[in-house]
Amino acid sequence: MDKERTLILCKPDALQRNLLGAVISRFERKGLKLVGIKMVGLSDTELDEHYAHLKDKPFFEGLKKYMKQTPVVAMVLEGEECIDAVRLITGATKGAEADAGTIRGDFAMATPGNIVHASDSVENAKEEIYRFFNDDELYDYAKIDETFLYWKD
Ligand code: UDP
Ligand code: MG
């Protein structure tokens, strides 16, 4: 199984609604390894790049305004095939439509306020991690639960 890294942004509503710990806890208890974390105030340039696929949408300016209300907490998580696994934990884009048990399904009602961003593909994860983290801000370390988490006989 391929070891992957994915980018998470805890969005301004996660901070304002005191859900940062709850969000991080969901990734922790799944067994994902935190390899980078920091608080970042997003610039227009970063948002234009990060949400380039939405630049022609009517909600684009509102989305940028929402993302700039407070700093966000950016994290890089690592795990075997973790990009898709993290998207499952995150849930569908619109909070009201997201499955119960997902972060968005449990904590969000709408868009753009849907608590978290998570990379959606190997290619995008690489690009997004590079956008927000320098190499020396990402850590390699052994985690003692890995033998049990990825047990193979
Ligand atoms: N968004 C929005 N209105 C929409 C669709 C998306 O405000 O109709 C916001 C929402 O915050 C979402 C972000 O734009 O998380 C990025 O959209 P994308 O389609 O990439 O969804 P995601 O990958 O976050 O599920
Ligand atoms: Mg997306």
pLDDT at 1: 80
Q: How many other C-beta atoms lie within 10 A of the C-beta of residue 16?
A: 12
Beta bridge partners, 86, equal none
- In the prediction, which pLDDT does 23 show? 98
95-150 pLDDT tens trace: 999 999 999 999 999 999 999 999 999 999 999 999 999 999 999 999 999 999 99
Domain range for 121 is 3-149
Both tokens assigned to 15: 């901070």
CB 121 less than 6 A from any atom of ligand 1: no
Q: Is 139 in the pocket of ligand 1 (CB under 6 A)?
A: no
Ranges of H-type helices in the chain: 12-16, 20-30, 44-50, 60-67, 82-90, 103-107, 122-132, 146-149
Angle between helix 82-90 and helix 20-30 axes, rounded to 10 deg = 140
In angstroms, rounded to a whole number, what is the distance separating the alpha carbons of residues 104 and 96? 8
pLDDT band at 25; cut points 50, 70, 90: very high
Indicate if the pLDDT at residue 85 is higher than 90.
Answer: yes
Per-residue model confidence as pLDDT tens digits over 39-76: 999 999 999 999 999 999 999 999 999 999 999 999 99
Q: Give per-residue pLDDT as tens, 102-114.
A: 999 999 999 999 9
Ligand in nearest proximity to the CA of 111:
1
Residue 114 Cα to ligand 1 middle (Å): 8
68 closest CA partner among 87, 51, 86, 92: 51
* One-letter identity of residue 55: K
Number of domains in the chain: 1
Catalytic residue among 103, 117, 119, 129: 117
> Which pTM was predicted?
0.97
Catalytic annotation present for 117: yes
**What CATH number did the domain enclosing 122 receive?**
3.30.70.141
